[in-house]
Amino acid sequence: MEQRTMRQRASILAAFLGLIVVLYIIRLMNLQVVHGQEYKSMSNSSTARTQTIESTRGEIVDRNGSPLASNKISYDIILDRAFLPYNKKATSSSERDDSENDIILAALELLNSQGEEWIDNLPITMEKPYRFISGKEKQVEALKTSIQIGLYNDVNTTYKNLLEWYDLTDAPYTDQQKRWLAGVHYQMDLSGFSVRVPYVLAKDVSIDTVTKMRERSFSLEGVDYQQSTARQYVDGDVAPHIIGTIGMLTAEEYTALTEQGKTFKSEKETLPDSRKYLLSDFIGKAGIEYAMEDTLRGSTGTRRIVINNKGDVLESEVTQEAIPGSTVVLTLDSVLQRTATQALLDEIAYLNANAPEGQGREADAGAVVAVEVKTGEVLVACNVPSYNLESYRQDIDELLQDPKRPLVNRALMGQYRPGSTFKPIVATAGLATDLIEGPTTVDCTYQYKFYDDYQPYCLSHHGPIDVYGAIKHSCNIFFYDVGRRLGISEINRYAQAYGLGQPTGIEIGESKGRLSSPDFSQKMGSKWYDGNVLQAAIGQLDTEVTPIQLANYAATIANKGKRMKLHLVKSVQSFDFAETIYENEPVVVDTVDASLQDYKVLTDAMVQTQRTGSASMFLGDYPIDVACKTGTPETTKSGFPNSTFICFAPADDPQIAVAVVIEKGWHGYTGAPVARAVLDQYFYGSSAPAKNPPVNQILE
């Protein structure tokens, strides 16, 4: 009985197992035969996407082809909308899936642990107590408009509304994490983040960061990296004010570009125009980077990629090649620039260590500009103090707070009284109008007594002195008298022809400066007195000029009255230098109304300044004739006179003109050693420093 029961159970079990096998066979037949092709197609389903290929920004090189701003391969961390989890029905950032925040936050924490910075332009500080970032008033206004609140709201109300806007108020994150996420979401919205447009979370990260990001790719869905280019500087402290900086587009810049039709605005466009901007793009912010943006910016390309459901790339095809930007060749000579900068630093250090208090020891800043006489090409435009483009972003807070203002482009924007360097203008006017001739003398009695109520002094008692001696020894009495007889209108007519108080034509921003005049005095609420012309005639009063104007003025004397339009861009070349796209040609913008004989007198007098005059201790033994003039203009801001110096050489066939300004440098001749170092490098390829005599050995 038991045996029969066991056989029955075995039969039932076998039948049950057989049924299961049959069902599996039927299921397999259904999957592989009946619906095999359908499921095969599903498993191999793919998505085609179009990606933008970034173009390479054009390089900036000096006149000899030495790179000043070039490119390096870099890596950007991006968010890809196609793979980032989110609510497909969402219409705004506030409806995004919570898992998206978790992924973004994980990426940010990884970046933070690696010491990397990510893009955050939210104009609210990162930590409590929150405050609006100083100097970003327009960005604050744009933020309030974006989240639809009144412009009168304070920072706490604004931030509270921002968190609500992005559904972060009750999110399970710390205060710091919420601030991070709010900044990223705000920038994502501004940049038009979409399936077609990826969002650049961080630029120029290390390869180690990329590796760590890829290792965690399984938990960072939608976070990827792309190869890009970033600016690099061989010598970041060479002409940073001239080269300039690049940075991400601001909302204001984006709006301005949109009005010009230069932005990609709609995802409905099949492909973005290759020359249009996205809000996540970088753009020139200052200097040549800004002025030559259209030239340096290339054209983006496109790539079509096919990806299967596992995220593997099945196919990749470049549909439009990216075109790199053009190379901008500057007129600057980087070697000469370094020489001038170091010479200026050395002279300031010498004065700090050796000059008496109140007579140069306080010198702390300055500028040097050198110009090619016949072409108007700027060879040198250096500033002290300065900064390094490589570390500019890390140092920006310190640079902004530095009382010496290293970010100021003193060479082009600094306005200084010219002091006695102005006297050759008065001499030119006197000679050209036949008011004086070479032998004409004025009796220097130490005090000028033409006016009863204003009787200024000279630096010495020179006795009868002609224009040669007056320039050589910088006699104030001579120029008081000639200036009074000329009148302020005639003085200013010649000063303007020389380019003072006038734009030089340079491609980047510069100050215009100003000349003393009754109109300016009236504008400032002051009365113009007859005696004011005396101070104007020696480069004092309200006259203020820039170092680059002084250099151009010296070059105009060297050019016998032809004033050239100054320029920094020598040419524009294709990225591979195979084609010259543009070449700058010399342009004469004005001619001073003076004869060749007038300029012979002027040049001879300025050479005497070199050989036996106020610059002789530094240039008296120089093997080339150098026409020069020193100046010690008084200041109202610091209370210490500045040092100004102009020269050109060789005097008989001028090639280079130099201007030096040393703030609080006291004596004009303190600029002569700096100019000599520039001349040494230019003519002899070396810059052996000139010996420095005791600071007070010469009186100007």
Structural domain includes residue 626: no
pLDDT of amino acid 89: 41
Q: Indicate the SS3 state at residue 86.
A: coil
* Cα gap 125→401, rounded to integer Å: 18
**Higher model confidence: residue 326 or residue 222?**
326
Q: Is the pLDDT assigned to residue 217 strictly greater than 90?
A: no
**Higher model confidence: residue 283 or residue 194?**
283
Residue 567, φ and ψ in degrees, nearest 5: -150, 150
Do the Cβ atoms of 395 and 240 come closer than 8 Å? no
* Domain count along the chain: 1
pLDDT of amino acid 636: 80
Place of tokens 């001749």: 669
pLDDT of amino acid 678: 98
528: region left, alpha or beta (phi > 0 left; psi from -120 to 50 alpha): beta
Number of helices followed by number of strands (H, E) in the chain? 24, 21
pLDDT of amino acid 249: 82
Nearest of 179, 232, 176, 175 to residue 204 by alpha carbon: 232
* Cα gap 350→210, rounded to integer Å: 49
User: What would the pLDDT profile of 329-379 be if each residue is shown by its tens digit?
Assistant: 999 999 999 999 999 999 999 999 999 998 999 999 999 999 999 999 999
* Cα gap 681→334, rounded to integer Å: 11
Structural domain includes residue 405: no
Residue 694 class from Cβ within 10 Å (0-12 exposed, 13-18 middle, 19+ buried)?
Answer: exposed
**Higher model confidence: residue 596 or residue 81?**
596
State the pLDDT confidence band at 694, using cuts at 50, 70 and 90.
very low
Residue 443 class from Cβ within 10 Å (0-12 exposed, 13-18 middle, 19+ buried)?
Answer: exposed
Cα-only R_g, the chain: 35
Which pTM value belongs to this model?
Answer: 0.84
pLDDT of amino acid 699: 37
Structural domain includes residue 106: yes
Structural domain includes residue 96: yes
Q: Is the pLDDT assigned to residue 23 strictly greater than 50?
A: yes
pLDDT of amino acid 282: 86
User: What would the pLDDT profile of 580-608 be if each residue is shown by its tens digit?
Assistant: 999 999 999 999 999 999 999 999 999 99
Give strand ranges (E) for 405-482.
Answer: 442-444, 463-465
Q: Indicate the SS3 state at residue 350.
A: helix
Residue 496, φ and ψ in degrees, nearest 5: -70, -40
| Side-by-side strand order, sheet with 656-663 | 378-384, 365-372, 656-663, 643-649, 627-631
CA torsion 9-10-11-13 (nearest 10°) is 90
Structural domain includes residue 191: yes
Beta bridge partners of 146: none
Structural domain includes residue 101: yes
User: What would the pLDDT profile of 369-427 be if each residue is shown by its tens digit?
Assistant: 999 999 999 999 999 999 999 999 889 889 999 999 999 999 999 999 999 999 999 99
**Higher model confidence: residue 164 or residue 317?**
164
* Cα gap 461→177, rounded to integer Å: 75
- Domain that residue 124 falls in: 77-227
Structural domain includes residue 108: yes
State the pLDDT confidence band at 691, using cuts at 50, 70 and 90.
very low
Euclidean distance between the first and final Cα of the chain, in Å? 137
pLDDT of amino acid 38: 55
State the average pLDDT over residues 283-291. 95
- Helix ranges restricted to H, 487-590: 488-497, 518-523, 532-537, 547-558
Q: Is the pLDDT assigned to residue 24 strictly greater than 80?
A: no
Q: Mean pLDDT: which of 2-6, 45-49, 420-424, 635-639 is highest? A: 420-424
User: What would the pLDDT profile of 169-209 be if each residue is shown by its tens digit?
Assistant: 999 999 999 999 999 999 888 877 877 678 889 988 999 99
Q: How far is CA 467 from CA 3, 217, 444, 553, 613, in A?
A: 142, 80, 12, 19, 13
Q: Is the pLDDT assigned to residue 88 strictly greater than 50?
A: no
State the pLDDT confidence band at 696, using cuts at 50, 70 and 90.
very low
Structural domain includes residue 86: yes
Beta bridge partners of 572: 328, 582
* Cα gap 217→439, rounded to integer Å: 87
Q: How far is CA 8 from CA 5, 12, 36, 83, in A?
A: 5, 6, 39, 58
Sign of CA dihedral 290, 292, 298, 299: positive
Contact partners, residue 661, CB within 8 Å, separation at least 6: 366, 367, 368, 410, 414, 416, 547, 550, 642, 643, 644, 645, 671
Pairing of strands 223-232, 199-205: unpaired
pLDDT of amino acid 250: 78
State the average pLDDT over residues 431-440. 96
Q: Give the amino acid at 622.
A: Y
